[in-house]
Amino acid sequence: MNDLPPPAPRPSKSQLGDLVRDLKALPYNALFPFSDWLKAGLIGQPLTRMVLLLALFPLGIHYFLGNNASIQTSGWAFGVYFAAIWAYLLHLMVRPQSIRWSAALGVAIFTTLLGIVTVLFVQKFPVISWLYAATESPFSPFRLIGFILGVGLLEEAVKLAPVVYLVVKLREVKDLKQAAYYAGISGLAFGVAEAVSYLYLYRLMDIGQLVYGGPLNNGNTIILQMVRLITLPFLHCMFSSIAGYYVGLSLYSRERHRAWIVFGVGLAAIIHGLYDFFSTSYLGIIMAAVTILMFSGYVYSSRKITEQVEAQGAVIS
């Protein structure tokens, strides 16, 4: 009973008085340097605004949508959130001289509204439907052909269509980097629209499992949803940006501009198809890394390649 430690001595009035006096002596500017923050324009700095966006946007989604959000609404909200982050990082990668944001928004809206619809419509056509069916073939070469000539070619052509229109018809694109950036925005828009459609499909699959008494693999569903919302839109962005790189090169070769565009779509379709083919194994991760590194290399070599192509043809005016 006597093993308890003695109670701690209470601070004397003199000690409390010293503490209060020390607290009062602390410099206000060191405690709350508001004037320094205002002078530095802290809120106007890009990094600060980026951090605010990253932190507050999901909280805003939770506050404004709450418990009443549908799968599509919440999917679009977070899809736009991640796409905005990727668009910012893409801008840092490409560093285009000047971007008309109204044109970028137009490309995104066009691809969002018509991209998935066009793919779903065209894939029912003869030959295209056979190529899509080949992606389910047990014979690997047929699957690879289906992913490249069916899925890859159709989706890359659809994503690049608004960018080609900006280049050829509207003459809005002035250089290679602009073309690559606009194409990347189109890819992001397509990827988000595709992700939202898959989120609804995953939900239906979970409901089906619940109704028929099957096991619910919610962990796998969450992983699929995150990959669809975060990574795959950026991969679509990279595929499209590679194609957009060649569309940009067409600006410097009047006589061969169609060949540059066709080659760009074809190369993007091959890379896209190879990723889809290997996506169920670790080789899919390697293919994704190769895609990102390829585009980074294209951006790095853009000036040198532009000079070489420009030396062989006239710039489209």
- Per-residue model confidence as pLDDT tens digits over 270-302: 999 999 999 999 999 999 999 999 999 999 999
- Per-residue model confidence as pLDDT tens digits over 210-254: 445 555 556 777 888 899 999 999 999 999 999 999 999 999 987
Average pLDDT score, the chain: 88
Longest Cα separation, the chain? 100
Note the pTM of the prediction, 2 decimals.
Answer: 0.85
Q: Count CB-CB contacts under 10 A for residue 243.
A: 32
Annotated domain spans of the chain: 46-299
* DSSP labels, 214-243: PPP-HHHHHHHHHIIIIIHHHHHHHHHHHH
In the chain, the amino acid numbered 174 is K
In the chain, the amino acid numbered 59 is L
DSSP 8-state secondary structure symbol assigned to residue 26 = S
